[in-house]
Structure 1
Amino acid sequence: MTTAERQLAETARGGLVGLAGSIVAAVMGFALTIVVARLLGPAQAGVFFVVVALFMILSETTELGADTALVRTSARLRALGRVDELRPVLVYAFVPVLAVSGPAAAALWMLAEPLAEMLADPAHREVATVFLRLAAPFLALSAARSVALAGTRGLGSVATFALVNNIMIPSLRPLLALAGMAFGLGAWWVMFAWSLPVGLGFLLAGVALWRLLVRAEAEPRERVPYEEGEPSAVREFWLFSGPRGVAAVIEILIIWLGVLMVGAMVSSHDAGIYATASRFITTGTLVVAASRIAIAPQIAALLAREERAQAEHLYGVATGWIVAGSWPIYLALACFGPFVLTMFGDGFDGGATPMAILAVSMLVVMAAGNVQTVLLMGGKSSWSLLNKCLALATTVVLTLLLVPRFGIVGAAVAWGATMLVDTVAAAVQVRTRLGLRLGAGPLAYPALWALFWFGALGVAVRWLAGPGAAAFAGYLLVACAGYGFTLWRGRARLHADVLLGAIKRRGT
């Protein structure tokens, strides 16, 4: 087996583990959205998602960029044989994060009432205050959990990240929410059920990271000496994580800002509808998330060794897999959004048009694959920061202009345009600055057939039979069968033999 084949096989194995975890996370995230929507209704669900949005923004802020930096630095140190520097890097990663996240949690608790006045309409400010104070203590652990899990990825364990972040935490949330509501514990329990698994995840991630560190230190590796003027591992870590920390905050702001602004500018009711519809869009990113988990350490190691041709090949093949797995999801959501949203109960059908707008935008984003990961693993966190600033300006300006007039449809247009700006900027930089090309070859075959089976067929079925349950079921049956057959026929173009080999090896 050649070096390129080994790298693809490793990506396939890691991607399969990540994909399995991402599927569970997507399914359980979907289940949680249904539970929240049905138990709380549109208005209180809007308050819930607004609080979740604020929590995620603060958690990302207090990570200080150390999560992505730890993936890159750990993979680089292992590739260069400098494992003796891992412990100092971990110390310098965790201490600042904990020093920031603790006070942030205390501030969230103390400022719960004024924040509730800003984020919720008068009828729901009391429940918003309760939700904020229930989530606050877990903010102190959320950032440290993310950093610890990033460290396990950098040290080669995709499984730990998948089990803790994509299986345990998402699975516990809807199960705990349903259990508590069955005993009549009230709406506050739903927020507590969402928060509690964060603390459990921190404990498991910390133990796993320590075990992986000890194992990495015992591995015999040839050490690559420092070049003259090359910064130390700790210095390089924070030179990278500083811009990345700001960019990550902007990134999470872009994801959740629409929900916050709809809640503040329109109503909690509309915020609940928009948050529910937009969560479907994040569900479709499970394929790119699985690929990112596997590909990031490999791209970092390849670029550290200046093996650009292999990095380009790995990036291209992984992008073909991403398109093959994600485009059908977004095309189906665009065609049958009205039916899909009926699963959340009455009052959510108004999210169909925003869902369709976001789904179409995501087709372009997925066609660029893990372009953001490649940019970061190439050490260009400052470029990523510039892109995020441009994207944030786009979302703020368009949201302020469009939401007052068009409501959640305007919010969807703003978010869709923002994702396109961010993706195109990163793709141009990867091509012109890092010198990695992504031609149409790896993704043309799955893209064209996805458009036929899930796009054209979906439009035809929707036009002829409407968006009902029977039409949707028949459409999925025919589209999945036809698409699966065409992918099988073109499996050589997609390097599917590597994926199949990984599946067989994991099954033996």
Structure 2
Amino acid sequence: MTAATTRPDAGSGTRATARGGLANMAGSVLAGGTGVAVTWIVARALGPEEAGAFFAATAAFVLVGGLAKLGTNTGLVYWPARLRATGQDRLLGACLRAGIPPVVVFSLILAVVMWLAAPWIAQLTAHETPHVVAHHTAGLRVLAVFVPLQALTDVLLTVTRGYRSMRPTVLLDRVLRSGLQLLAVGAAGVAAMWASATLPVFALAWAVPYLPVVVLAGFAARRAYTAGRVSQQVHPGERRRLRRDFWVFTAPRAVAAVAQLALQRVDVLLVAALSGLAPAAVYAVAGRFVVLIQFANQGLSQSVQPRLAEALSTGDTAGAKRLYQTATGWLVLVTWPICLLVMAFAPWYLRLFGERYATGVPVVLVLAAAMLVATGCGMVDMVLAMAGRTSANLGNVLVALVVTVGLDVLLIPRWGALGAAVGLAGAMVVNNLLPLAQVHHSTRLHPFGPGTRTAALLALACFGPVIYSPAAAVLAVPAYAAGAWLLRERLTLRAFIPRRTS
């Protein structure tokens, strides 16, 4: 069978991406919304210092969990897609056995390390008062217990995405886990009305949903593997070669994934360490919308990822370009209005978290402008990885990390939360423009197709004036919806309409 015969139909690939991407983005919006609600509850129930400690503790938890996954969130999508596209389905079981057990072992080791290092981390980031240090230490240790569950949940859901199934990720991670987190943290917030609220209680409420979700993710991964299993003998030499190739590809991505998470989370820790927990809380609240947009990007990327890997592995550059440009157009269509509305309404919505958080308006403006650049480049980081350039991907992320840490150390002592925002914005620009140049040079792919250009111009025309006159949002929303409908062909929105069957 030639490579050409394995290529999927263009229309069906776009429609499948649209369906998976829409479901994933809807789930991501829900997860982002519940995340904002959780942030509001914590900011209201805890004082600024303890709220800052909570955000610093969860940032450390996410960083450790990202390290524990060893880059398998890329490897366990790329390799199953590649094996299927090249007719080597018999090696899928060996691929999973190469990736999952090391994550389990390493996550247990890191959980112990985080438990033991909790007093040092707390002292570094919560040095204001002894009782905050004590609560911060306890919260970090509560979260340390759940590190293996977090890592295993993400890896098992990655397995299902490697089999082109987006539903488990949407239902279990985006809907169930996020919903349970909101309910548990909300219950802790209600209890705080009658008793003193402490950080460890909120940390437990935030982390405990990983327990039921990891069990359900295990069932989903097993079902996907069983449905696609090929009963064919695999030679031991093939398993060894696959294990070696898997980790040669995945190892650079493991470091890059941690550096990528550090770009998103280390700034909260640095603000806490260099400027105090109260500014860290302001920064975390003001930058929460960034996580919402990153969820949308991630949701669409996870739907595109296996199909893009298959297209690139079979030499279908035209199909890969079409997927990349179409998905970027959809991403811009969804996220640019959010960025522009956030810029316009920041002085009002930040006050919902408390008057002290209104000082975060400059943080919002800087980060929203950077997000316009980042989303305009699409999921370029993932495209570079799916093209097999994981070493280049690692180099880019490390350069961006140096930029953000360098700017943070220089600016946070002077500007506080705004200094961290400038550092993160600089890293976003670097971490998108560098891989954009590399992707175009190596594969001639770029995200600036008709859909991307149309979505960007439409968003700027409708929502740009809202920045100067927030009341214009009343007209901007219906105008945007009408424009999207009239331009649906250029935006490839028909892919979201189910195909009629005779």
TM-score normalised per structure 2: 0.93
Q: Secondary structure at the match of 1:121?
A: coil
Residue 475 of structure 2 corresponds to residue 478 of structure 1? yes
Contact 2:329–2:449, Cα closer than 8 Å, also in 1: no
Q: Secondary structure at the match of 2:47?
A: helix
Residue 484 of structure 2 corresponds to residue 487 of structure 1? yes
Q: Secondary structure at the match of 1:64?
A: coil
Deviations 1:19-71 (A, max 9, x none): 22112111111111111111113221100000011111111111111121101
Residue 368 of structure 2 corresponds to residue 359 of structure 1? yes
Q: Secondary structure at the match of 1:306?
A: coil
Per-residue deviation, 1:286: 3.5
Residue 429 of structure 2 corresponds to residue 429 of structure 1? no
1:385-464 equivalence runs, <5 A: 385-456=394-465, 458-462=466-470
Matched residues, number: 487
Match of 1:166 among 174, 179, 193: 174
Residue 382 of structure 2 corresponds to residue 373 of structure 1? yes
CA distance in 1, matches of 2:188, 2:160: 33
Deviates more, 1:104-113 or 1:362-371: 104-113
Question: What is aligned with 1:24?
Answer: 30
CA distance in 2, matches of 1:205, 1:348: 37
Residue 227 of structure 2 corresponds to residue 208 of structure 1? no
Q: Secondary structure at the match of 2:203?
A: helix
Residue 190 of structure 2 corresponds to residue 178 of structure 1? no
Q: Secondary structure at the match of 1:437?
A: coil
CA distance in 1, matches of 2:399, 2:111: 29
Contact 2:41–2:189, Cα closer than 8 Å, also in 1: no
Deviations 1:368-388 (A, max 9, x none): 111111111111111100001
Question: What is aligned with 1:10?
Answer: 16
Contact 1:61–1:248, Cα closer than 8 Å, also in 2: yes
Contact 1:67–1:148, Cα closer than 8 Å, also in 2: no
CA distance in 2, matches of 1:281, 1:20: 16
Deviates more, 1:210-219 or 1:64-73: 210-219
Change (3 A) 1:207 1:460: same
CA distance in 2, matches of 1:153, 1:57: 22
Per-residue deviation, 1:279: 1.4
CA distance in 1, matches of 2:302, 2:91: 23
Per-residue deviation, 1:83: 2.2
Deviations 1:421-475 (A, max 9, x none): 010011011100122233353311111121121112x13314xxxxxxxx4xxx4
Identity score, percent: 33
Deviations 1:92-148 (A, max 9, x none): 212111111112111222222222111212322111011111111101221121111
Deviations 1:139-194 (A, max 9, x none): 12211211111111001110101111111111111211122343446322211011
Question: What is aligned with 2:207?
Answer: 195
1:37-436 equivalence runs, <5 A: 37-123=43-129, 124-184=132-192, 186-187=197-198, 188-217=200-229, 232-436=241-445
Q: Secondary structure at the match of 1:157?
A: coil
CA distance in 2, matches of 1:24, 1:425: 31
CA distance in 1, matches of 2:231, 2:262: 40
CA distance in 1, matches of 2:48, 2:20: 38
Q: Secondary structure at the match of 2:423?
A: helix
Per-residue deviation, 1:219: 9.8
Change (3 A) 1:231 1:364: farther
Runs ≥4 residues deviating over 6 A: none
CA distance in 1, matches of 2:191, 2:484: 48
TM-score normalised per structure 1: 0.92
CA RMSD after TM alignment: 2.2
Deviates more, 1:73-82 or 1:395-404: 73-82
2:174 is aligned with what amino acid? N
CA distance in 1, matches of 2:447, 2:26: 26
Deviates more, 1:390-399 or 1:171-180: 171-180
CA distance in 2, matches of 1:309, 1:24: 33
Contact 1:18–1:290, Cα closer than 8 Å, also in 2: yes
Per-residue deviation, 1:497: 1.1
CA distance in 2, matches of 1:280, 1:439: 25
Residue 493 of structure 2 corresponds to residue 496 of structure 1? yes
Contact 2:91–2:239, Cα closer than 8 Å, also in 1: no
Contact 1:399–1:411, Cα closer than 8 Å, also in 2: yes
Contact 2:42–2:189, Cα closer than 8 Å, also in 1: no
Contact 1:335–1:455, Cα closer than 8 Å, also in 2: no
CA distance in 2, matches of 1:319, 1:230: 37
CA distance in 2, matches of 1:66, 1:75: 14
Contact 1:285–1:326, Cα closer than 8 Å, also in 2: no
2:333 is aligned with what amino acid? A
CA distance in 1, matches of 2:48, 2:188: 20
